[in-house]
Amino acid sequence: MSTSESQPSLPRNLFPHQTPAAASSSTEETKDANGMTKLPNGVILDKDGKPCRLCTSAASWRNLTKQAKAQGATSTPATTKPTPESTTSTSTPQPRDDCPPDVEALGRSTWTFLHSLTASYPVQATQEQQGEMRTFLKIFSRLYPCWVCADDFRNWMAEPSGRNEPRLKGRADFGTWMCEAHNEVNRKLGKKEFDCRFWEERWRTGWKDGRCD
Ligand SMILES: Cc1cc2nc3c(=O)[nH]c(=O)nc-3n(C[C@H](O)[C@H](O)[C@H](O)COP(=O)(O)OP(=O)(O)OC[C@H]3O[C@@H](n4cnc5c(N)ncnc54)[C@H](O)[C@@H]3O)c2cc1C
């Protein structure tokens, strides 16, 4: 499937000033000094200059498709084509579980995977296991589908002092490291940090109060 199939149909002058090399987040809503339409808040462009759905929240994506429609896009965005299950219209779109993920849904699923990876990591890992995990994290940080997230994650790991390098000797180290990595993103997004002393109760054993039993 080509990338354009998953993109809203946008007016051609929506972001003519944004080249692929300048792909970035948009922070303005209306028109610029040249009368060119700007992207709604929070819409992140992909490296090819097209809106990156997996880098953008569902709310910002909806604003983008609304804006595109309002500006007279000729074809209906793929995201809102009627399907047999979506024939009724509501004024406020309800979150659905059969649509492509936004940056948050992708993130939640991925953190579940990443923390579960630490939960199932050996208590003491062999050199080979450590090597495999190091390779995985390197590849993961290049291929994660939200490219801005991947870039930041990769840069965080490569911090010059070496203090953020993956700690892979065993489960305790790796679980705490992953928690710190997650907290780095939490901080960036203005979210509450997680107390890393409890990563294992959250992701492996269940809470001591028995609520997960
Ligand atoms: C590698 C990576 C980079 C990302 N970068 C960005 C980005 O640049 N911009 C962006 O908008 N989104 C990014 N995300 C997505 C973002 O981190 C969240 O997943 C998303 O915003 C949804 O957040 P949430 O509040 O539902 O909970 P999430 O942050 O997804 O957390 C899920 C659950 O994990 C637990 N948890 C929270 N913090 C920790 C922790 N430190 N350790 C252990 N458990 C924890 C909590 O129980 C929480 O409910 C990234 C995701 C990943 C995997």
pLDDT digits (tens, 9 = 90+) for 144-158: 999 999 999 999 999
| 189 confidence band (pLDDT: 50, 70, 90) | very high
- The answer to whether the CB of 146 falls within 8 A of the CB of 54 is yes
| C-beta 189 within 6 A of ligand 1 | yes
CA of 166 to the centre of ligand 1 (A): 18
pLDDT digits (tens, 9 = 90+) for 198-207: 999 999 999 9
| C-beta 86 within 6 A of ligand 1 | no
| C-beta 177 within 6 A of ligand 1 | no
Confidence (pLDDT) at 33: 63
| 93 confidence band (pLDDT: 50, 70, 90) | low
Of 148, 155, 150, 147, the closest CA to residue 114 belongs to 150
What mean pLDDT value characterizes the chain?
82
Confidence (pLDDT) at 38: 76
Confidence (pLDDT) at 191: 98
Confidence (pLDDT) at 26: 42
| C-beta 156 within 6 A of ligand 1 | no
Helices (H), the chain: 58-70, 103-119, 127-143, 147-157, 171-188, 199-200
Residue in 26, 53, 104, 111 to alter for ligand 1 test, most ligand atoms within 8 A of Cβ: 111
| 9 confidence band (pLDDT: 50, 70, 90) | very low
Amino acid identity of 194?
F
Q: What is the mean pLDDT of residues 17-44?
A: 56
Closest approach atom of ligand 1 to CA 182 = 41
CATH of domain 103-204: 1.20.120.310
Place of tokens 């002058």: 13
| C-beta 184 within 6 A of ligand 1 | no
For the chain, counts of helices (H) and of strands (E): 6, 0
Cα separation, 57 vs 38, whole angstroms: 17
User: Where do the structural domains in the chain lie, given as residue ranges?
Assistant: 30-69, 103-204
| C-beta 55 within 6 A of ligand 1 | no
Q: Is the pLDDT of residue 48 over 70?
A: yes
pLDDT digits (tens, 9 = 90+) for 157-187: 999 999 999 999 999 999 999 999 999 999 9
| C-beta 194 within 6 A of ligand 1 | yes
